[in-house]
Structure 1
Amino acid sequence: MNDDRKQGVSNMLQQFGFTQYESQVYRALITIDQAMDATSIVKRSEVPRSKVYDVLRRLVKKGIVLESTTEKKRLYTALPLHLTIEKLKADFEWNVQALKETKMKETPVDDRVWTLKDNQSIQVSLKNLVQKAGSSIFISAWADDVNAILPFLEEKHHAGLDVTVHVIGEIETIIPNTSTLIPDTEHSKLERSRILIIDQMEMLFAGVEDAEWQAIHTQSRPLVKFFTEFFYHDVALTEITRKYKDTIMNDNEIRDILLKLRY
């Protein structure tokens, strides 16, 4: 083996995480067609005697050097180069697969509650959250608010996300999980509001206070859970009202209690 090829072997091993001494010992063994003892390896590899036994032990453990004891003398030989290359390829592929399967470090949850004012800012934030969603979207809002982001909601539905819509007023949509409440004069106390929950991890709730839109935005798990239940509360009330409207509206006590609730 010429000097360039010897150096190539050494460089290859170092690129795969072998130390310089490990590379020198392997190169010394692979370039001679006979087993050698530690003394011969020291001379041929130029690795210090004080280091050679530790280096050989590591190479044996890594499986690219073989050892044998004959007449109380320990001999070493190298795994053939083509087999070493196959081993290194297999190790690399195994490490790549292990890396792919490694669970990425989770980003710490920001459980702070952020307040947001101004209607336009709230609408922009709603659109951004919808686009950010990766698995599910729950939204409850009035028809004009839903229509403003409906193309994004339908796009997410096409992508396979679980999209559930609760809307006050009529909309036309391909999203099957849509619950619609058509308000009438009996619903004069309905409040304008918006709830958006994405991936069951992040939510925005907006309402009108003193004639101005205000919102809270958070990843707080307790609040996300609370507003998810609140969302289903809205859906349940809508379906109850739709299915039993005549019964409800003819019972003054039930009607008065129901109409005090927020949809």
Structure 2
Amino acid sequence: MAGDDGLTDALVALGFSQYESRAYVGLLGGEYGLTAYALWKRTGVPQPKIYEALRKLVERGVAIQVGTRPQRFAPRQVDEVLEQLQQDFDSRVEEAKRTAAKALSGGEGADAYAEVLRGSRGKDAVLTDAAHLINDAGERLYISGWAEDLAELKDTIVSAQERGVQLVILVFGRGKFDVRGAAVYRHTTTSHVLYRSHRNRHIGVVADGRRAVWGVAFDGEEWTSLRFEDRRLLGLLRQFIRHDIYVQKIYNHLQPEMEEAFGIGLEKLVELDKPLSEFVQGERTARSAG
């Protein structure tokens, strides 16, 4: 690929190591999904270093693993990588400004944490982001998603459980998903009813209350996600998962009564323009007529 040396040097100037830069440029110029061996042959990066370079590229989010037997790797688009680097740089500058303001003002009223949002596109990238968070978790994980998608993360989730991480998992859809020793909840209110709004799929992961991934597939196909460390967004996603679990626990205990009031799958709950008093009055009228 023309300009390889120039791009390699540019990436080094942006904080990549020489080996990381050469490995990324090698991925760009090769066929989709190169093995570490093929990339070593292509780039000349010393064989003991090629695996470390690939690991760093995946951690940076500029490459993704697209195969397991054997492991194969593919690059993110250059425009996406450069935009991510720009966002990271801007975030660090903003954090430096806040830190400087705090130091100059004696620390009164300044935020002490970074507000960082990063994006990913494509299911493989979203699953990779989720897997990194699960691998890094040391205490507690909240996970929400569809059974078929969580199945692709099962080995990573089981590894977290085996090293003592507490797991709270909410499973959507009709597929089977379970992890021995974990608190796994089924989203039973929608397991037998598919509404148009449920064509969207999602994966949510909150790790140790410090980092999170929220991925959504609109119409089940176009996956995109956000990775963040902002405590306000972390709390919002965690509470979203917990609230859904609360509803499922109530539903499992009071299913006949709730379905009588709100229908199979509780579809009447989405009628937000209809106050609760109308539901109550309607049920009273129906019982009287019966």
* TM-score between the two structures when normalised by the length of structure 2: 0.48
Q: Tell me the residue number matched to 1:178.
A: 184
Q: Tell me the residue number matched to 1:199.
A: 208
Q: Which deviations, in whole Å up to 9, do the C-alpha atoms of 1:51-70 show, x marking residues without a partner?
A: xxxxxxxxxxxxxxxxxxxx
Partners of 2:203 and 2:215 within 8 A in 1: yes
Q: Tell me the residue number matched to 1:140.
A: 144
> Which has the larger Rg?
1
Which whole-Å CA distance do the structure 2 matches of 1:242 and 1:260 have between them? 22
Deviation at 1:122, TM superposition (A): 0.5
Partners of 2:166 and 2:182 within 8 A in 1: no
Structure 2 gap segments, 5+ residues each: 1-111, 273-290
Partners of 2:213 and 2:228 within 8 A in 1: yes
Which amino acid in 2 is paired with 1:186?
V
Which whole-Å CA distance do the structure 1 matches of 2:157 and 2:271 have between them? 30
Which amino acid in 2 is paired with 1:180?
R
Alignment of 1:60-139 (within 5 A): 109-139=113-143
Q: Tell me the residue number matched to 1:157.
A: 161
Q: Tell me the residue number matched to 1:235.
A: 245
Deviation at 1:236, TM superposition (A): 1.2
Which whole-Å CA distance do the structure 2 matches of 1:132 and 1:250 have between them? 44
Q: Tell me the residue number matched to 2:256.
A: 246
Q: Which deviations, in whole Å up to 9, do the C-alpha atoms of 1:91-128 show, x marking residues without a partner?
A: xxxxxxxxxxxxxxxxx844221222111110111111
Which whole-Å CA distance do the structure 1 matches of 2:148 and 2:206 have between them? 18
2:179 is paired with a residue of what secondary structure?
A: coil
RMSD: 2.4
Moved more, 249-258 or 203-212: 249-258
The percentage of counterpart residues that share the same residue type is: 15
Partners of 2:144 and 2:205 within 8 A in 1: yes
Deviation at 1:260, TM superposition (A): 6.9
User: Which aligned runs of 4 or more in structure 1 are off by greater than 6 angstroms?
Assistant: none
Alignment of 1:38-49 (within 5 A): none
Q: Which deviations, in whole Å up to 9, do the C-alpha atoms of 1:143-163 show, x marking residues without a partner?
A: 112211122212211211111
In structure 2, relative to structure 1, the CA distance for the partners of 1:165 and 1:133 (3 Å cut) is same
Q: Tell me the residue number matched to 2:228.
A: 218
Which amino acid in 1 is paired with 2:232?
P
Which whole-Å CA distance do the structure 2 matches of 1:252 and 1:137 have between them? 32
Which whole-Å CA distance do the structure 2 matches of 1:260 and 1:120 have between them? 36
* TM-score between the two structures when normalised by the length of structure 1: 0.53
Which amino acid in 2 is paired with 1:158?
E
Which whole-Å CA distance do the structure 2 matches of 1:178 and 1:236 have between them? 13
In structure 2, relative to structure 1, the CA distance for the partners of 1:260 and 1:204 (3 Å cut) is farther
Which whole-Å CA distance do the structure 2 matches of 1:133 and 1:166 have between them? 18
